[in-house]
A = this chain, B = another copy of it.
């Protein structure tokens, strides 16, 4: 991908990656994704993430969370499948161990294209350890994953979990980016700010990072894109969850492209497509934020972004013909 490509050209490439909606497809082919997160303190984040994935077109959106959180998340929408398999340490029952909990979550991986790890996860040791094991198994099975929020704490404290894995995206905000950089001995005050994302991506052996901010830097260490689309000005919590859910669906679409489930030119490779997913997710989320802010101003809340995911997709990327002969 040329380094000087315009936003329009990059989004044009994202368009090429998007699977059309064809009569011949069956349930699940356009995305089976799961968000792992949702704990005693947080129920909104995994909901926003899973809903964004569904609104962007995933056929099946799951949430895997702690039971109390699960009861609540289920009430937010009957459209999500919510599995109460996670446990905070204090709530482990007598016959439950991290092994038994992890086994139940890991068993779902074979049915999933992508896992988002972190929204509303918290730092409970049992929850963190379960996610560490899910990551380890996801790598073995070549399942893509996105790390955000307290999922990034794993990349900070146990970098070997993500080091060198090309099928993952990290989405730190400014605070989280600072912590990750510090853990990799990168002094953010001494480096060119436009090169920091590239540097951190390289420190992690070439994983893809979206450094969220006034503009989003996206880098896999070799190539860096800057996502500059106008966003909203309200810094309400939870907007990053629309990003992770959007990324999940785009990563599932990338798999569909790579598996050639429809007829296409096949002129984009796995690495380029991963960067396109990151850019596409960033662009869609910024547009959701802009549209929601235009409507709600200062009163904007995270759920307002959810309502704009499909519009943002249509405006920025566009829908494909449903007639195979016209593709």
Binding site for B on A (CB under 8 A): 21-30, 40-44, 47-48, 54-57, 59-60, 68, 71-72, 74-84, 173-174, 214, 233-238, 296-299, 301-303, 309-310, 313-314, 319, 322
A41 proximity list for chain B (CB < 8 A): 81-84
B78 close to A302 (CB less than 8 A): yes
Q: How far is the CA of A107 from the CA of B269 in the complex (A)?
A: 49
Say whether, besides A78-B47, A235-B29, A299 and B57 are in contact (CB < 8 Å): yes
Q: How far is the CA of A234 from the CA of B25 in the complex (A)?
A: 9
Copies in the complex: 2
Say whether, besides A27-B235, A71-B72, A173-B27, A303 and B77 are in contact (CB < 8 Å): yes
Q: How far is the CA of A233 from the CA of B21 in the complex (A)?
A: 6
Q: How far is the CA of A238 from the CA of B58 in the complex (A)?
A: 13
| CB of A60 to closest CB in B, whole Å | 5
A303 close to B26 (CB less than 8 A): no
11 contacts between A and B (CB under 8 A): A27-B173, A27-B235, A40-B83, A41-B83, A43-B74, A43-B78, A54-B299, A57-B234, A75-B75, A79-B302, A297-B319
Q: How far is the CA of A298 from the CA of B55 in the complex (A)?
A: 7
A233 close to B22 (CB less than 8 A): yes
Q: How far is the CA of A72 from the CA of B73 in the complex (A)?
A: 9
| CB of A2 to closest CB in B, whole Å | 29
B303 close to A56 (CB less than 8 A): no
